């Protein structure tokens, strides 16, 4: 499978349109600026987008991850009609990918307008399926999902996506200033 050309899809639900997951591109910077970077999104993400320049830098960072092969970030967009992209709904990422390593990490965020409609679990499931398919020769058999212990929404997303809570994590400042949860999903063999 060509990792660079990856385009993933998640089916529609009765209350939400289908999703397309694709690598970020420079044209997405304007859409990032337009998102409602509400308090919840700012709290749970490590970097906020404040203007067109910071959005362009963020997109460049996502593209650099694809180029180096250690981070694969996908824009999550809702479809307007089959195959046609609509509104930007969030981000999902496979990160800390190392050739020959058995584990990597996943992460995600959703825009305020997309929350509560199953966007994050559907996108995470699509990313999980892709990761285990795209990296079998590299030995990827375990995906880890970390979140702060008080981020109950992320805990629900992990559970809906069959990531089992394996243990609590102590705070480890400065990178992890608060206690967290470690969820794990293993590849079905």
Taking only the tens place, the pLDDT of each residue in 155-175 is 999 999 999 999 999 998 887
Mean pLDDT, the chain, rounded, equals 88
State the Cα–Cα distance between residues 33 and 35, nearest whole angstrom.
6
- What stretch of H or E contains 89? strand 84-95
As a whole-number percent, the residues of the chain with pLDDT over 90 amount to 59
Beta bridge partners of 98: none
* Euclidean distance between CA atoms 68 and 58, whole angstroms: 16
Task: Give the contacts of 35 (CB within 8 A, at least 6 positions apart).
Answer: 41, 49, 88, 111, 112
Give the residue-averaged pLDDT of 48-60. 89
Q: In the Cβ-directed half-sphere of 26, how many Cα atoms lie within 13 Å?
A: 1
Is residue 84 helix, strand or coil? strand
Q: pTM of the full predicted structure?
A: 0.90
Q: Which of 30-44, 48-62, 121-135 has the highest average model confidence (pLDDT)?
A: 121-135
């Amino acid at each position: 499978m060509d990792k660079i050309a990856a385009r993933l899809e998640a089916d529609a639900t009765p209350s939400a349109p289908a999703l397309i997951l694709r690598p970020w591109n420079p044209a997405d910077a304007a859409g990032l600026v337009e998102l409602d970077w509400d308090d919840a999104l700012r709290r749970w993400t490590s970097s906020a987008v404040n203007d067109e320049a910071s959005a362009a830098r963020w997109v460049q960072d996502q593209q650099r991850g694809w180029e180096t092969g250690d981070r694969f970030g996908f824009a999550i967009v809702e479809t307007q009609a089959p195959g046609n992209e609509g509104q930007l709904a969030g981000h999902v990422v496979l990160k800390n990918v190392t050739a020959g390593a058995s584990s990597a990490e996943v992460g995600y965020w959703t825009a305020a307008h997309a929350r509560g409609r199953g966007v994050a679990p559907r996108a995470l499931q699509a990313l999980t399926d892709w990761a285990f398919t795209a990296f079998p020769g590299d030995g990827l058999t375990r995906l880890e999902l970390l979140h702060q212990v008080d981020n109950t929404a992320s805990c629900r997303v992990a559970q809906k996506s069959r990531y089992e809570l394996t243990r609590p994590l102590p705070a480890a400042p400065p990178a992890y200033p608060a206690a967290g949860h470690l969820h794990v999903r293993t590849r079905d063999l």
